[in-house]
Amino acid sequence: MVSALWMGPFGLGVLLWTLGLPWPRNPPRATWTALLLELRRTAPGTGAAVALVFVLLGGSCGLLRVVVDGVNGLGARQALLGGAENAAFFLVLCLLVGPGLWLSRAWRAVRG
């Protein structure tokens, strides 16, 4: 649990980095409307990409941990809990980074 504390600052840093372009101080109403429309348009694709990354990374790292723990002589329950821990790590990481990427993609489309 303590080793995962770095994910908060890392996720915030990635969120700020992915915004790329600065937010205007008082954007016109049309900018917010266009951003909301772009967020709605890009939601399915971005959600699918983040889910795919989680399944591939979380699943493979979780399965690898189960195999390594099993080979090292841990019981099935302990090995599965270790695999679930690794998968949960990647789930939290995707939940921190995914919305920032989604917002960045929509904002760049509106601005560019």
pLDDT single digits (tens) 2-47: 556 666 777 777 767 666 655 555 666 677 788 888 888 888 888 8
Question: Does residue 90 lie within any of the structural domains?
Answer: yes
Kindly report, residue by residue over 49-101, the tens digit of the pLDDT. 888 888 887 788 788 888 888 888 888 888 888 888 888 888 888 888 888 88
Given this model, what pLDDT does residue 57 score? 78
Residue 63's domain spans which residues?
28-111
Question: Does residue 77 lie within any of the structural domains?
Answer: yes
Question: Does residue 89 lie within any of the structural domains?
Answer: yes
Residues 6+ apart with CB under 8 A from 41: 106
For 46, phi and psi rounded to 5 degrees? -70, -40
Question: Does residue 1 lie within any of the structural domains?
Answer: no
Domains in the chain, number: 1
Question: Does residue 10 lie within any of the structural domains?
Answer: no
User: What CA–CA distances, in Å, run from 67 to 39, 89, 95?
Assistant: 40, 17, 26
> How is residue 36 written in tokens?
């909301």
Question: Does residue 65 lie within any of the structural domains?
Answer: yes
